[in-house]
């Protein structure tokens, strides 16, 4: 069956802006820190620090790519 968005006649009005928005990512609920042992908290911090480092590396890669692209279009 064809969905209602595909059955609208062409030129039948404005596009739904919801179609343009990327779906929101669901965030995981943070763990309950009070229930974690000191050892578990230390491991959790290590995991978070590793994730921050990973995100930082991706940011640096994207900045490098953006700089490269900018230099190509300036020429």
The maximal CA–CA distance of the chain, rounded, in angstroms, is 62
Domain assignment of residue 66, yes or no: yes
Structure tokens at 14: 């404005």
Domain membership of residue 73 (yes or no) is yes
Q: Check residue 46 and give its pLDDT.
A: 98
> Would you report the helix, strand and coil content of the chain in percent, each value rounded to 5?
60, 0, 40
User: What would the DSSP string read from start to end of 39-66?
Assistant: HHHHHHHHHHHHHHHHHHHHHHHHHHHH
Q: Is residue 59 part of a domain?
A: yes
Range of the domain at 57: 50-75
In a domain, residue 13? The reply is no
43-50 long-range contacts (CB < 8 A, ≥24 apart) are: none
Residue 64 maps to a domain: yes
User: What local confidence, expressed as pLDDT, does residue 57 receive?
Assistant: 98
Q: What is the pLDDT of residue 2?
A: 58
Q: Looking at the 3D structure of the chain, how many domains does it have? A: 1
Question: How would residue 25 be classed by pLDDT, with cut points 50, 70 and 90?
Answer: confident
**Within a domain: residue 62?**
yes
Structural domain includes residue 35? no
Q: Is residue 70 part of a domain?
A: yes
């Amino acid at each position: 069956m064809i969905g209602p968005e595909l059955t609208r006649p062409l030129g039948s009005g404005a596009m739904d802006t919801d179609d343009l928005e990327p779906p929101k990512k669901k965030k995981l609920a943070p763990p309950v820190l009070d229930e974690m042992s000191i050892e578990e908290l230390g491991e959790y911090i290590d995991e978070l620090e590793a994730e921050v480092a990973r995100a930082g590396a991706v940011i640096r890669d994207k900045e490098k790519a953006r700089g490269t692209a900018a230099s190509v279009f300036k020429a």
